[in-house]
Amino acid sequence: MRLLTWNINGVKTLPKYHPWNTLASFDEILQKLEADIICFQAVSSSRRTQATPPSFDAFISLPVKKTGYSGVATYTKSSVVVPLKAEEGLTGLLQPKLPLSEEERISKPGAYPPRLLDDDAEGAEGEDELDFDDLDSEGRTLVLDFGLFVLINTYSPNVGDTPARLAYKMAYHKLLSVRVKGLIEKERRQVIVVGDVNACAAVIDHCEGDLMVRKGREEGMEGEAGFWGEEYRRWLKDWVKEDGGTMVDVVRKFWPGRKGMYTCWNTKINARETNYGTRIDYVLCTPGLLPWIKAGDTLPSIKGSDHCPVFVDFHDKITNPDGSVTKLRDALGMGPRDEVEEPKERDPPRLCARFWDEFSGKQTSLAQFFGGGKGKVSSSTALSSTPTPPSTVTSTPTPTPASATSTPTESHVTMAQSDPPSITTPNTVLASTTAAKRKFVPEPANSTKKAKVKEKKSKAGQPSIASFFAKPSASASTSKSKQAGEPSSPQGHSNSAVDREMDVDGHDREDEDHKLALQLSQEYSPQFNLSSSQSSVASSSNGSGDGKRKDKAKDAWTSLLAPTQPPTCRVHNEPAKEYTVNKPGPNKGKKFFICSRPVGPGYDKGKSERLREHVDPQYRCDFFKWSSDVRREQGQGKGALNEKP
């Protein structure tokens, strides 16, 4: 059996990568991962998305308030393993609409953090109280009980840019460690914690860990103190340390000295290209589960996110100290799996997505609400089938096929005439009156003018280049004055004025850009529209003056339309690469050039962030220049060259 964890950075991003974009369904994506228990973090999806794959049981926790943010999901292959119990959150306070019973809950009330922290309150004086509801409101944890172990799928908060977010992260870490402590000490359970912890457990887990240690020593710190300055790193180091730690870092246990075993890269700076990353995704377990675990590793070759998957494999069976053999399926409560005996079948816990109202048939969809069920007689049908007295039925002549297809106006009339007969009761008189108001009627004689106005608006579309340089038309000022409430012209003249306006502005604009280009060219070359013979005579008579103006116009057009040539960075003397600012702010949309080399340990972040002796010149330098400055400099250079005799 394989257990896999992966921060997918949004479930909708997977189909944008190969090979996921070649698969027809989300169930096929899960099958392609070749794992039996799949834990996703940063799902960032709505409630209905990827909730019921046929081959898996889905357990999903989403934020209570924020939609499309955070979220975790655990998928278990129903043919291999089915959890015994499941719940959201770490506190035990987050419950479905119908709260879980004591038999459905994973732990007893005394093993949840609220009760444990209350018991330890006397020895924790001066500490801030945790906001349990807030910590469980972002959809960051799913807890599943498999019998052999309790699985916690977690997505730890990022440190953020504010002290408040750092405090939230540390409070979440404390809540997680207390929940695990309650399972181990109060209930004697084995625990597996998987997911994105957003922290490094060792110096070797960070691409610049050695540089941080080196910088700390230069500042007078001892040992690795330069790396352990962050509180959340110290928390994780103490949690997984070999001597006295609560949990075991399984993958590092199998690869103790392996460098570059990263799981997360900054895709904005193409850090994955040079493996400039960090290891913040883990599979942690209690020491008692180590005999069951056969292997563990990262899968950096699998793309689809800024993280890569991490997995562990379990033995199918183990030999106990007394010589007896225990099979994994028996330990998981799944029963035998052979041809002699059929495996046991059981339903997943009630938290499974298939039991949600929208998937279990308890909640109808919007289409079903308006569509109506099959076999039901609608009210309109019942009314039309009821016998009515002859005096109350309004007869309507049936149109001929020729009249039904002659003109659009006649077709509207036909629709009005083909309505079923109605009953003139007090309740239906009002309904028939309202229906009559909704019927199509022939358009008035002046509808041609309205059609022209609509045609003019539809043809306007995207304005052309010429419209930006032309003076405001009289029609625009007239329309503005009418909207402002100014008196209009007499009716006898208004219709003709509107008609003239239609004739002028309603024409096809497909050649206006071309006309503008000709106009600009003619400013430098008056003889442009002349014939070839006339042009040659004019050019010979005008001399070289017009030729210079012509060359100047050509250079102006070339400079305007030519792409910006990339400058060269100062350190490597190589062409820089252009990027666009996407961050909201005053510079959003502006373009800039930076060094084209990839990032790596010791790349130049600038003098304020990187000491000169720590810079590695083989990676990106600190070259930066706005594209507008580059174009201005190139334009000045061309102007200087053109001014030379």
Binding site listing for Mg(2+): 7, 196, 198, 306-307
DSSP string, 273-319: GGT-EE--EEEEE-GGGGGGEEEEEE-TT--SSSB--EEEEE-SEEE
Asked whether 464 and 512 are in contact (CB, 8 A), the reply is yes
- Is there a contact between 109 and 40 (Cβ–Cβ < 8 Å)? no
Nearest to 71 by CA among 26, 159, 7: 7
What are the phi and psi torsion angles at 388 (to 5°)?
Answer: -125, 150
Residue tagged active-site, from 57, 136, 196, 281:
196
Angle (deg, nearest 10), helices 491-505 and 447-460: 40
First-to-last alpha carbon distance for the chain, in angstroms, is 80
Q: Which residues, in sequence order, are CB contacts of 129 under 8 Å at separation 6+?
A: none
Instruction: Rounding to the nearest 10 degrees, give the CA dihedral for residues 320, 326, 328, 330.
Output: -140
Torsion of CA 92, 93, 94, 95, to 10 degrees: 90
- Residues 6 or more apart in contact with residue 86 via CB below 8 angstroms: 59, 106, 142, 143, 144, 145, 348, 349, 351, 352
Cα–Cα distance measured from residue 201 to residue 204, given in angstroms and rounded to the nearest whole number: 8
Q: Which of 75, 307, 603, 604 is catalytic?
A: 307
Please say if 155 is a catalytic residue: yes
Amino acid at 157: P
Order of strands, sheet of 141-145, starting from the edge strand that comes earlier in the sequence: 85-88, 141-145, 150-155, 191-196, 281-285, 248-249
Name the binding residues: 7, 196, 198, 306-307
Q: Which residue among 155, 168, 232, 619 is the active-site one?
A: 155
> For this structure, is 196 an active site residue?
yes
CA angle 492, 496, 499 (to 5 degrees): 150
The verdict on whether 18 is a catalytic residue reads no
Q: What is Dmax (Cα atoms) for the chain? A: 113
DSSP state of 226: T
Strand pairing class (281-285; 248-249): antiparallel
Annotated catalytic residues are: 155, 196, 307
